[in-house]
Amino acid sequence: MNCLKDGNKIENGELRMENKKSEKLKVKNENLPKIAIYPGTFDPVTNGHIDIIKRACKIFDKIIVAVADNKDKKTMFDLEKRVELMKKATKNIKKVEVKSFNSLLVDFAKKEKCNIIIRGLRAVSDFEYELQMGYANKSLYEDIDTIYLMPNLENAFISSSVVRSILKYGGDVLHLVPKEITGELNVYSN
């Protein structure tokens, strides 16, 4: 049971309120976010992505990691491989389910009966794009909300494009990606 500042309580997912006459009012709060979607191309998954997933797991009961099949992006790994890598990278994180999608994110969210999107912000430069996408999603699906999480400072500079560039030239990415997938990436270095 959680006590709120105003004397009301949350107990077993229900908000218990007391009115001025001290009568107990019970309001079932079915809109509490329990499931969130963390979308991306994850080409490949990085320690920054895993950091955001772990942070989101502290807030939500379930995180759907939604691997996008974005035909506009030229990816290093095909969709099936990216899903496989994400499943390997998250196999020891409870609350995570990995799925792919090839539709508008809001349509996928509706299908999954989810109204929360998780996005990671590494720097101010990410914010403008993410804010625009958040507004666009909201214009398409009024019930959708976006929550922005920052990775730990040690992961703030990591992006999939940095990892791809390092791989392309045969560099070491062991400190940038989850250990569960490092063997899979060696094949892609020149």
Positions marked catalytic: 49, 73, 122, 160
- Of residues 47, 48, 79, the one with CA closest to residue 179: 47
Phi, psi of 78 (to 5 degrees): -75, 170
What whole-number distance in Å separates Cα of residue 12 and Cα of residue 91?
Answer: 29
- Distance of CA 52 to CAs 125, 145, 181, Å? 18, 17, 17
**CA-to-CA separations, 31 to 14, 28, 116, in angstroms, rounded:** 10, 9, 11
**52 and 89 in contact (C-beta within 8 Å)?**
no
Q: Are 119 and 149 in contact (CB under 8 A)?
A: yes
